[in-house]
Amino acid sequence: MEELKKLLESRPTLYLATVEGYLPRVRPINHYMIYNGYFYIAMGKHKEAYKQLLDNTNLELCADLGEQRLLRIQGTVNFDRSP
């Protein structure tokens, strides 16, 4: 996670890919952080991305690291509803 944190320090925008039915959906996000060893994405419950992740917890994140390098992260969502 520390290596990921260093890679993302200068890249404020990530691209989040979700699935709606059978269709892919991609949107830019800039509300994320690494906290207690976990990667967090912040979004409101009213957002379509949140609803899509409730239906299908698979996601992918992408960032342009420059110098013709891309970062892709595949994973699943675990919802943290703590304050």
Average pLDDT of the residues in 49-74? 92
61 within some domain:
yes
19 within some domain:
yes
**Tens-place pLDDT, residues 12-49:** 789 999 999 999 999 999 888 888 889 999 999 999 99
Tally the domains of the chain.
1
Burial of residue 17, with CB atoms counted within 10 A of its CB: 0-12 exposed, 13-18 middle, 19 or more buried: middle
Quick one: which of 29, 33, 36 has its CA closest to 5? 33
82 within some domain:
no
Geometric angle at alpha carbon 47, from 46 and 49, rounded to 5°: 140
Query: Range of 44's domain?
Result: 2-75
Q: What CATH number is given to the structural domain containing 53?
A: 2.30.110.10
pTM of the entire predicted model? 0.85
* Beta bridge partner(s), residue 39: 34
DSSP state of 53: H
80 within some domain:
no
